[in-house]
Structure 1
């Protein structure tokens, strides 16, 4: 099932109408806190664990719809935790977090029954998008309109990457698309440059904040050119998107 939040975001829900549940497992507290904050913002219920035993215990009690699982934990590795999780919840999708780049490590996780993986350092938007896909494919939530964001006459399809305004197609680069998606998930909300850098260029981005100004200008040329503006600047605060005034 899907619904729209008070902020205008389309949210995933369980078939009974309750929020989607995600278990986050990592021994780095900063990582679990960062992920938990981002996933709660999606309207999901979150529990976290810092080791394998805690992961299995929480999975048994919480019955999550998806699990984010670090490959390296202090008491057992992620593959061992996955085996125990599968005995409790045979169909729950698992997204591995790994700091290893070797192809054989990724293959090992997927072969053992993991559904997807991201390599540290990761972008929060990437983790959220992958979890949404896993949850929909697992049937824990309805697929009907979850992937389509709508603000005024502007629409963005997260699955097909199609963007239209007033029915007219708009071509965006990958980065422009991610920036627009973040704005559209938060209509009428002012987003700071720091928040945008965190979500679009990942939390470890070391570049200058003027890259945000540059890409906002690119979006304006494509979204607002010749039309009533939707993308607005709040000096000293950030940027927001809202339906055009008529």
Structure 2
């Protein structure tokens, strides 16, 4: 049973694609699966629709008539919007994947794709972003770092930390298991799912941003462990 079938109100999705046939196919398939679906045809329409429609998730084509989906995602993230994004694109080069995740995407599906795979990925992303991971408490505290799981917010001391969806997912995982070293493969599975195309360089990109935002001069909490991965250290006083 999908997330939408368990909810009293259908989950809103925004499909951003300028191909009428594909957009109509996605609307029909996802509506049948229990979602409420709206469509935008351009990047500009997408930005306006996110504000007006307030979707729980965006299915975003990369190639759009005005500006590409990576730009849409980057503008949303720069404006503080953390709505989850699944990119749809014919591009599958490693640099394109890094651009997508670097712009704030949560998953990346290449065309052609199976509708069932898209539905599974939608459920997986919503499960990660709308509900706490098993074992998480509502608030995680590691020294002066506070992670509000339900509110999807974080602070270091009294200073709020602005995080992308992926950065928050990585931070939550590390804060749930302080002093435990995770490989890039471990973090990739947690943040993007076991079938994601995200590679090690994409994880490094996300962790680089997270370390820059969380660590303080002389008060580093997230460290790299040579040849092993990453760890959140509990500061020793």
How many matched pairs? 134
Task: Give the Cα–Cα distance (whole angstroms) in 1 for the partners of residues 80 and 116 of structure 2.
Answer: 26
Secondary structure at 1:64's aligned position in 2? coil
Secondary structure at 2:55's aligned position in 1? coil
Distance 1:141 1:45, change over 3 A: farther
CA deviation map 1:195-246 (0-9, x unaligned): xxxxxxxxxxxxxxxxxxxxxxxxxxxxxxxxxxxxxxxxxxxxxxxxxxxx
Q: Does 2:103 correspond to 1:112? A: yes
Q: TM-score of the superposition, structure 1-length normalised?
A: 0.50
Is 2:59–2:87's contact at 8 Å kept on the other side of the alignment? yes
Please identify the structure whose Cα radius of gyration is greater.
1
Task: Give the Cα–Cα distance (whole angstroms) in 1 for the partners of residues 90 and 123 of structure 2.
Answer: 22
**Unaligned segments of structure 2, at least 5 residues:** 135-237
Q: Aligned Cα RMSD in Å?
A: 2.4
CA deviation map 1:103-149 (0-9, x unaligned): 11111101221010111111101111001100111116999xxxxxx
The equivalent residue for 2:61 is 70
The equivalent residue for 1:54 is 45
CA deviation map 1:51-82 (0-9, x unaligned): 00111111111100000001110000111111
Higher relative contact order (CA 8 A, sep 6+): 1
Task: Give the Cα–Cα distance (whole angstroms) in 2 for the partners of residues 15 and 56 of structure 1.
Answer: 29
Task: Give the Cα–Cα distance (whole angstroms) in 2 for the partners of residues 141 and 37 of structure 1.
Answer: 30
Higher helix share: 2
Secondary structure at 1:84's aligned position in 2? helix
Alignment of 1:121-136 (within 5 A): 121-136=112-127
The equivalent residue for 1:137 is 128
Please point out which of 67, 77, 90 is paired with 2:81: 90
Alignment of 1:201-220 (within 5 A): none
Is 2:2–2:123's contact at 8 Å kept on the other side of the alignment? no
CA deviation map 1:164-188 (0-9, x unaligned): xxxxxxxxxxxxxxxxxxxxxxxxx
Task: Give the Cα–Cα distance (whole angstroms) in 2 for the partners of residues 16 and 102 of structure 1.
Answer: 37
Is 2:15–2:39's contact at 8 Å kept on the other side of the alignment? yes
**Unaligned segments of structure 1, at least 5 residues:** 1-9, 144-246
Task: Give the Cα–Cα distance (whole angstroms) in 2 for the partners of residues 83 and 101 of structure 1.
Answer: 19
Shift of 1:86: 2.6
The equivalent residue for 1:3 is none
Q: TM-score of the superposition, structure 2-length normalised?
A: 0.52
Distance 1:127 1:60, change over 3 A: same
